[in-house]
């Protein structure tokens, strides 16, 4: 075995025997950010398809997380910001969340006033809880 192969094998075995690196919070933050982004993109897709071009009629969003919460797009955005905050240790999330909460509260009140058949079991932000 030549020295380059021996060096590679030594490095691989030494690394495995030394222990494994845990990334902990970094992986969680990336997962949360991507999950939130996926929820946000899917929810925005549902919202964009509610009306055809030129229509002005309001409709109740159906499908995706809108089945469980009124503000699925806000839920996705909040999960996204939590992932970002965990990864970057930034405080913007604590400033931005109240703004999202206010927009969500206004939107929920609008839906309840506008539609008599609005699903009563649908929560505002957290499925089955709030």
Taking only the tens place, the pLDDT of each residue in 43-96 is 999 999 999 889 988 899 999 999 999 999 999 999 998 888 888 777 666 677
pLDDT band (50, 70, 90) for residue 24:
confident
Residue 4 placed within a domain: no
Question: pLDDT tens for residues 30-42?
Answer: 999 999 999 999 9
How many distinct structural domains can be found in the chain?
A: 1
> Which residue range(s) make up the domain with 85?
23-114
Count the alpha carbons within 13 Å of 123 in the hemisphere toward its beta carbon: 10
Task: Please report the pLDDT score of residue 41 as a whole number.
Answer: 96
Residue 125 placed within a domain: no
Residue 5 placed within a domain: no
Residue 35 placed within a domain: yes
Task: Please report the pLDDT score of residue 85 as a whole number.
Answer: 84
Distance CA 71, CA 126 (A): 9
Task: Please report the pLDDT score of residue 18 as a whole number.
Answer: 66
Task: Please report the pLDDT score of residue 44 as a whole number.
Answer: 96
3-state secondary structure of 69: strand
- Over range 121-128, report the average pLDDT: 82
Is 20's pLDDT higher than 60? no
User: Token pair of 119, please?
Assistant: 């699903």
Stronger pLDDT, 23 or 50, i.e. the higher one: 50
Residue 103 placed within a domain: yes
Residue 73 placed within a domain: yes
Is 122's pLDDT higher than 70? yes
Residue 3 placed within a domain: no
Residue 47 placed within a domain: yes
């Amino acid at each position: 075995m030549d020295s380059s192969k021996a060096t590679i094998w030594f490095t691989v075995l030494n690394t495995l025997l030394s222990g494994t690196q845990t990334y902990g919070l970094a992986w969680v933050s990336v997962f949360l950010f991507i999950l939130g982004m996926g929820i946000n993109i899917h929810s925005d897709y549902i919202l964009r398809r509610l009306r055809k071009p030129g229509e002005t009629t309001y409709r109740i969003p159906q499908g995706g997380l809108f089945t469980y919460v009124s503000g699925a797009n806000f839920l996705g955005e909040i999960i996204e910001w939590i992932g970002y905050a965990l990864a970057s240790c930034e405080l913007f999330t604590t400033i931005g969340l109240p703004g999202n909460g206010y927009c969500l509260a206004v939107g929920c009140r609008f839906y309840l006033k506008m539609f008599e058949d609005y699903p009563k079991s649908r929560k505002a932000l957290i499925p089955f809880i709030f």
